[in-house]
Amino acid sequence: MSELAPELPPPAPALLNARGLTKSFRLGRRDVEVLRGVDLTVLRGEFVALRGASGAGKSTLLQILGGLDTPTAGEVEFDGERLSGLRPRELARFRNTRVGFVFQAYHLLPELDALENVCVPARLGRMPVAEAQARARALLERVGLGHRLDHRPTELSGGEQQRVAIARALMNDPELVLADEPTGNLDSHTGEEIIGLLCSLQAERQRTLVIATHDAQVAARAPRVVELVDGQLHATL
């Protein structure tokens, strides 16, 4: 009697579904089309790298996926819900609770120290102060900055500022983390540390991670790579 084949686990459900995304900007007297019918599906818990040359539209695509911008045409679904169907207040809550953003330029508030910067998303979401501070401390410890809690951005190196930004992105335990050229302002050694940290956190927390980068070495860390060329996506791995 032949043995039964072991049951395979069901495939991970899609967290993000983007269909037919176009985005045009008015430049003088003409429209410049940045995205031209982009289709992208990202599974829950997946790590995807979005490659493309500078100016290819990677940042625009990430902003649309995260609800920071709207497409000229097309639709984004997050966990089966159309972002276009959300009211402004619902969209703001979606960005605050379900998506974490990591930017190339860090975007830390200069008047706040590291702990206060990490607490910002929680305070916007009206988390109790003591709970927010405890969570922020734990996240800063995890990214190696437990000794820099009271330092302001001007007192931190670029790599340290990006670690604060990563902790801030994770503050509300988002399902999706979008990182836009997170190593773009860092030297190669520090950049490798930051990408290693993002990969470790993604694996630990089983969160969905999409990184936009023009760096082939950064993209190579992801199990799946897609490339944005002439406004359209092409699978490269």
Around Cβ 8, how many Cβ atoms within 10 Å? 6
Instruction: Show the domain range for 199.
Output: 47-68+88-225
Q: The domain that contains 130 carries what CATH number? A: 3.40.50.300
Whole-angstrom distance, CA of residue 177 vs CA of residue 209: 5
Q: What does the chain come to in residues? A: 237
Please give the pLDDT value at position 95.
Answer: 95
pLDDT at 234 over 80: yes
Residues 135 and 141 sit within 8 Å (Cβ to Cβ) = no
Q: Does 74 reside within a domain? A: no
Please give the pLDDT value at position 13.
Answer: 87
Q: Does 236 reside within a domain? A: no
Helices (H), the chain: 58-65, 88-98, 114-124, 129-142, 158-169, 188-205, 216-219
Please give the pLDDT value at position 230.
Answer: 87
Q: For residue 5, name the pLDDT band (cuts at 50, 70, 90).
A: low
* Cα-to-chain-centroid distance, residue 6: 36
Please give the pLDDT value at position 8.
Answer: 55
pLDDT at 3 over 80: no
41-46: average pLDDT: 95
164-182: average pLDDT: 95
Dump pLDDT digits (tens) for 108-124: 999 999 999 999 999 99
Q: Does 230 reside within a domain? A: no
Please give the pLDDT value at position 161.
Answer: 96
Q: Does 15 reside within a domain? A: no
41-51: average pLDDT: 95
Q: Does 7 reside within a domain? A: no
Q: For residue 77, name the pLDDT band (cuts at 50, 70, 90).
A: very high
Q: For residue 61, name the pLDDT band (cuts at 50, 70, 90).
A: very high
Structure tokens at 103: 């930017």
Q: How many domains does the chain have?
A: 1
Please give the pLDDT value at position 10.
Answer: 61
Please tell me the pTM assigned to this model.
0.91
Q: Does 144 reside within a domain? A: yes
158-185: average pLDDT: 94
Please give the pLDDT value at position 56.
Answer: 86
pLDDT at 66 over 90: yes
